[in-house]
A and B are shown apart, each in its own frame.
Chain A
Amino acid sequence: MKSRAWLIVVSFSMAPGLCHPARGEEQVVQAASPGQEQANPATPPPNNEVEALRREIQELRDQVHLLQAQVTALSSTPPQGGEPARTSAAPPSAAPGRSQSLLNPAISAVFQAIGATSVSHDHDETNGFDLSEAEVAFQSVVDPYARVDLFLSFPSGESPDVEEGAVTTLGLPKSLQLKGGRFKSAFGKWNTLHNHAFFSVDRPDALTNFFGEESLTDDGLSLSWLVPNPWNLYIESATEVGTPRPGESFNVGRRSLLYLEHLSSSFTTSPSSTLEVGLSAARGRTGPSAHLSAALAECGGACSSLVPREELDSSVQGVDVTYKWKPLQLNVYKSFLWQTEVLLSRRDIDMLDTLAPALVPESVSSLGAYSYVEWQVRKRWKIGARYDLSGFPDDRTAREWGGSAVIRFQPSEFQEIRFQYKRTMRNAAAAARFGDEDEDNRIFLAWIPVIGAHGAHKY
């Protein structure tokens, strides 16, 4: 048992290389020092010389006793361990845990139980409760050169899928980092979040309308770079190229690649606050929108000869601004966040002229935005509000806007209950896409527990 503990201690001390001081050297120092220090007794000589000598002799005797005691103590220790207390004090029971965690990836699981209901109408199929998504994460270093982050999602009623699975380099020079696999594109801020990490229950309308129900996700490569600059500012550039997963703005699948560039910078405005600004641009190709396909189907035989073009130019650009305030001393209790993103889509489309009938080529620009503020009022309570305004990338007239109120309760770091009330208004063109509902009032409730490895907090 003892020898096993030794092995573990030895293997652990070899792994980090630098972590242990050279034991032998320190032992020598320590074993030698008492003697050295005792060679200089600090008592000043008294006036009476005989008395002084007597006391000196007595002191020397005492010191001999002391040294004898030390010799006994030292000789009773194991031959290798000149430093008995500390050697035996190394935490043997802690070591196995650490070496195991080197080999096993960190595993965690999270799910969202969501209840949603529209209070405006009752024919909505999304009404009701739903275990909307369970996610299992495996994260680990592969070797000294790379790490892997794998997130498997189990959406309710659908087959399991790899939500993200990417290998990231650890040792590239020049502050570069290369990522390959499937990952959420670095477009703005919200797009990179997993659903359980949202501020609210739902995704902002602008992101849903421009990218779809899921984040804009790539199967491809991403090269990110911490840009050196004379001001020592955090400036990061991420360049991505890949095949986009099915979505709204880029839906031609493997036929065409998506190119994306994201530049972000963070400014420390005070010890307690930061301002982060980002610019994103994505460009790719897209086929007919779901809306056009539906319209063609509705038109029926008269439109059967109309074939929409498959590969049209599509680009989305975005600006994101995030301001965070967290007092250094009480950051667990109070905080404030303001995050805004504006997205601009430019897209070539075929418009269906039902009278002709004919497909008319057009170029549509549309704008989408959200702005979210959040106050942490107590350690476990946050309240937030979001304003949404969004067009649709395939329709220059349709528009929806609305507001949300959010309450978040976090009993601990590992659990959250999120409540959201959302009111959406739509103009006629937008209402036509939603069963002619020009107004929707909706309530969401989500309960999100996380188990397993302690993940890091994102900033």
Chain B
Amino acid sequence: MTTRRFRLLSVLLLAALAIGPRAGLAAQGRVRVVATLPNLGSIASAVGGDRVEVTTIAVGTQDAHFVDPKPSYMVRLKNADLLLVNGLDLEIGWVPPLTQGARNPRILPDGPGYIDCSSGVRVMEIPSSLSRSEGDVHPYGNPHYLIDPLNAETVAGTIAEALKKADPGSAAIYEDGRKAFVKRLHEAVFGKELVDLAGGSKLAREAAAGTLDAFLDGTSLGGASLRTHLGGWLGGMQPLRGWPIITYHKDWSYFASRFGLRVVEYVEPKPGIQPSAKHLEELVVRLRQGDIRVIVTRPFVEHRSTDSLAAKTGVQAITLPIEVGGAAEATDYFKLFDYVTGQLLKAHGTAGPGPAGAAR
């Protein structure tokens, strides 16, 4: 009786196996891209245009460290041609079970479709020693690199190359998509005027080498230094250079370094560690010195600590997204920075965001 039931079940399973859809064919010839995080998804859409079908696993209001590896994500990954990951162990808690469960060898680590978008990125804060007594440290360095918009150029290059390999017939389209994205990015970061004068790639190189200031101040054009032509997000954020801020987690390092902000304290005593009453008291003392005027918190953490800090010291706490979709206004990678820089300028009391982001 039971044996018969087993036989019936086996026959049914084999029948379903035989009629199952064939894997490995892109729907309508488009490349199926799954991005772990919305910033990666947004850049992939910009580069790939309508040649790609991009789905994103996490949403912008979620903590990228702690996404739940739901079985339904495995189904999405099963037929993916490319999986874009942030890398640097940011998704260590949830991507491995998904790739292992997806039964898709293409997107396994070291598979041709597993794209670690951190490669080529200049990584900050690589710990010299590793110990969990320091909290949830990332052994390969700070993984929140896409909050520096200039790193998106590297990532767009990585994604374009991956798309070219996955779909060689459309290589020229992806190269055009990458170029257009990078041009738009440079104009958004430096302003169109400066990009037209000095060239976006030149500016990006100077910025990456940390010599942008010397270049802008040391080069004169029509009697005035190049800096007078600086626009975009960098130009708009100039009043905030050297401004001290407190952030909840260590996820603003790249942004602060790019825009010249100084992160002087963290609400978390150590990465991933819940703030203790003692640490909050120390922050109150620090905030009462009066030089810090803003606490930057995250959409996906408790607001009790930051609210109590704000209430005790009068320093305002603002919630800023670090991913596309983390705020209603941040609908794509460009709008994310339009929104973030706008909010910071507002907190600083400088005139609103204006057209700082050349993004349209």
Contact = CB atoms under 8 A, between A and B. Distances in A.
A binds B: yes
B160 A21 contact: yes
B69 interface: yes
Interface residues of A, number: 93
B68 A37 contact: no
Given A21-B160, A456-B96, A228 B70 contact: no
Contacts of A266: 70-72
Interface stretch (B29-37, B202-210, B329-337, B343-351): B202-210
Contacts of A226: 74-75, 78, 101-103
Nearest to A40: B196
Interface stretch (A185-193, A295-303, A327-335, A384-392): A327-335
Interface stretch (A82-90, A360-368, A429-437): A82-90
B285 interface: no
Interface in A88-112: 89-91, 93-94, 97-98
Given A274-B72, A459-B71, A227 B16 contact: yes
B122 interface: yes
Contact of A33 (B88, B103, B112, B199): B199
Nearest to B114: A16
B122 A170 contact: no
Given A17-B112, A283-B2, A457-B94, A66 B17 contact: no
Contact of B122 (A55, A90, A454): A90
Contacts of B23: 173-175
Interface stretch (B58-66, B231-239, B255-263, B286-294): B58-66
Given A94-B123, A329-B300, A22 B16 contact: no
Interface stretch (A130-138, A232-240, A247-255): A232-240
B17 A225 contact: yes
Interface in B7-54: 9-10, 13, 16-17, 20-21, 23
Contacts, number: 238
Interface string A322-354: 000010111111000000000000000000000
Given A97-B140, A379-B274, A34 B201 contact: yes
Interface of A: 12-13, 15-22, 26, 29-31, 33-35, 37-38, 40-42, 55, 58-59, 62, 65-66, 69-70, 73, 83-86, 89-91, 93-94, 97-98, 141, 144, 147, 168, 170-177, 225-228, 232-234, 236-237, 239, 259, 261, 266, 268, 271, 274, 276, 281, 283, 313, 315, 326, 328-333, 379-380, 412-414, 451, 454, 456-459
A456 B93 contact: yes
A171 B132 CA distance: 34
Contacts of A147: 100
B271 to A, nearest CB: 11
Interface in B69-122: 69-72, 74-75, 78, 88-89, 92-97, 100-105, 108-110, 112-116, 119-122
Contacts of A20: 119-120, 158, 161
Interface stretch (B216-224, B240-248, B307-315): B216-224
B89 A454 contact: yes
B71 A65 contact: no
B141 interface: yes
Interface of B: 2-3, 5-6, 9-10, 13, 16-17, 20-21, 23, 59, 61-63, 66-72, 74-75, 78, 88-89, 92-97, 100-105, 108-110, 112-116, 119-123, 126, 132, 135-136, 139-141, 154, 157-158, 160-162, 165, 179, 192-193, 195-202, 205-206, 208-209, 215, 219-222, 272-274, 299-302
Top 8 closest A-B pairs, CB basis?
A: A34-B199, A89-B122, A85-B208, A21-B157, A228-B20, A234-B71, A266-B71, A85-B209
B114 to A, nearest CB: 7
B197 A38 contact: yes
B209 A84 contact: yes
Contacts of A26: 157
Chain A CB count within 10 A is highest, among B6, B13, B119, B219, for B119
Contact of B119 (A13, A227, A259): A13
B88 to A, nearest CB: 8
A284 B208 CA distance: 66
A403 B17 CA distance: 43
Contact of B141 (A19, A35, A91, A274): A91
21 contacts: A17-B112, A37-B195, A59-B221, A85-B122, A86-B154, A89-B122, A90-B122, A226-B75, A226-B78, A234-B71, A239-B10, A268-B70, A268-B72, A328-B62, A329-B61, A329-B62, A331-B62, A331-B66, A332-B301, A454-B89, A457-B93
A298 to B, nearest CB: 33
A326 B59 CA distance: 14
Contacts of B88: 94
A58 B222 contact: yes
A86 to B, nearest CB: 6
B119 A16 contact: yes
B5 to A, nearest CB: 8
Contacts of B222: 55, 58-59, 62
Contact of B221 (A21, A29, A66, A170): A66
Contacts of A86: 120, 122, 154, 208
Contacts of A66: 197-198, 219, 221
From A38, A98, A332, name the one whose CB has the most chain B CB atoms within 10 angstroms: A332
A37 B20 contact: no
A177 B101 CA distance: 9
Given A16-B110, A90-B122, A37 B200 contact: yes
B75 A234 contact: yes
Contacts of A12: 119
B110 A239 contact: no
Contact of A459 (B69, B123, B140): B69
Contact of B97 (A35, A90, A141, A458): A458
A233 B75 contact: yes
Contacts of B94: 456-457
B13 A225 contact: yes
A412 to B, nearest CB: 7
A70 B189 CA distance: 20
B220 to A, nearest CB: 7
A364 to B, nearest CB: 15
Contacts of B300: 329-332
A34 to B, nearest CB: 3
Given A97-B139, A328-B61, 10 more contacts: A18-B165, A21-B120, A33-B199, A33-B201, A85-B205, A173-B23, A174-B20, A226-B74, A283-B3, A412-B272
A59 B220 CA distance: 10
Contacts of B17: 174, 225
A172 B108 CA distance: 12
Contact of B115 (A15, A18, A30): A18
B59 to A, nearest CB: 6
A94 B221 contact: no
A42 B196 contact: yes
A233 B74 CA distance: 10
B211 to A, nearest CB: 9
A383 B346 CA distance: 43
Contacts of A42: 192-193, 196-197
A281 B165 CA distance: 45
B119 A19 contact: yes
Contacts of B208: 85-86, 89
